Amino acid sequence: MKIGVIAHLKYPISKPFMGGLEAFTYDICQRLLARGHDVLLYACAGSDPILNVRPILCEEDYHPITSSQFTSRQLSTEYISTHHAYVEMMQEIDKDELDIIFNNSLNYVPIMMSALVNAPMVTVLHTPPIFELKNAIRREQDYGRVKYVSVSKTNADNWSAYAPDCEVIHNGIDLSAWEFYPENDHGYIMWFGRIHPDKGLHLAIEAARLSGKKMKVAGAISDQHYYETEILPRLDDSIELLGSCDHKMLNELIGKAAVSLITPCWDEPFGLVVAESLACGTPVAGIAKGALPHLLDERTGMLCSRDDVQELAECILVTGKLNRAECRQRAEQLFDVEKMVDSYEALFEKIALEKMEMKIKADVS
């Protein structure tokens, strides 16, 4: 099949990944190519050329946002550049004679223009309901050219008023790339991810201190104001900031930790950090927000019901006693990237077959 994958344009699709969506896009493109599909990745300049990239946003227009809020009432340069890039792409995309458009853009333009192109579209809802996507999906329902997929049941439920027939396909990771650590004798807590208000590192620091455990932190600063006002004042000798780590180092850090601490401050639709931690055999203590309650069970993690750092500290102490082999088993059952690609591949083939059958019927009539 010829598959056009539309990426979001905030960051290039290349290693080291800035977040889970970059990793998702990279992994699925790489594996679809390995399975013999003809894949085109519509992404910003600087994305990895092994993914057969069709750049739609040049480096001059690429300015990643590092602050958490945009305060100007005027449209940002990023917004305008992104809008124009997607409009031009959709105007020209039929020239590539695609069988399927696989939309992971987080942008309203591909959905709004889906009725104007020949290829059917699969759109993955990687976020909770946001204003622009809600409106685009509501308008698109009149045409029914888009099949919607969510990365978790929680997120599908959140979207049910706009995309009621949303299929659930969990995100996956390459389990062979994550070494399992069956034993733990180091005793520290691990927190990893972007240092950003959404990820709640400030809550993790407070809970770690109350638990009496030392904590290691791996991740890039993506909100400097948050880091300076909420993180720096909380640091002491019990917290070790490691910055961005390569895969091998991160795998070892997670695997040797007693517990991974995951502290979302928003309704996170999935969270690859859960899958990565369990793959290493490390149980999770966290906050019951977003998809976490559905991704974990009582054998692999413990969650507090609200942003209560005392309760979270108690979760840390209980979670450290869980069976690490059962953590790895849950990762293998739910978060295998090959199973994820199997599901998307089957969906693409079903939609392409339906389109072909409709064309045959139209030709006969």
Neighbouring C-beta atoms of residue 263, cutoff 10 Å: 25
Q: For the chain, list the domains and their CATH numbers.
A: 2-172+336-364 (3.40.50.2000), 175-334 (3.40.50.2000)
**The pLDDT value given to residue 304:** 95
Across residues 112-123, what is the average pLDDT? 96
**The pLDDT value given to residue 75:** 56
Per-residue model confidence as pLDDT tens digits over 119-174 = 999 999 999 999 889 999 999 988 888 999 999 999 999 999 999 989 999 999 99
What does the alpha-carbon distance between residue 151 and residue 187 come to, in Å, rounded to a whole number?
A: 32
The whole-model pTM stands at: 0.86
Across residues 31-36, what is the average pLDDT? 97
**The pLDDT value given to residue 59:** 61
Q: Do residues 31 and 337 touch, judged by C-beta distance below 8 A?
A: yes
Tokens of 77: 């340069």
Q: By three-state DSSP, how is residue 87 classified?
A: helix
Give the CA dihedral 202, 69, 268, 123, nearest 10 degrees.
-160
What does the alpha-carbon distance between residue 222 and residue 78 come to, in Å, rounded to a whole number?
A: 17
What does the alpha-carbon distance between residue 156 and residue 337 come to, in Å, rounded to a whole number?
A: 20
Per-residue model confidence as pLDDT tens digits over 178-221 = 999 998 777 899 999 999 999 999 999 999 999 999 999 999 99
Rg over alpha carbons for the chain, rounded to the nearest Å, is 21
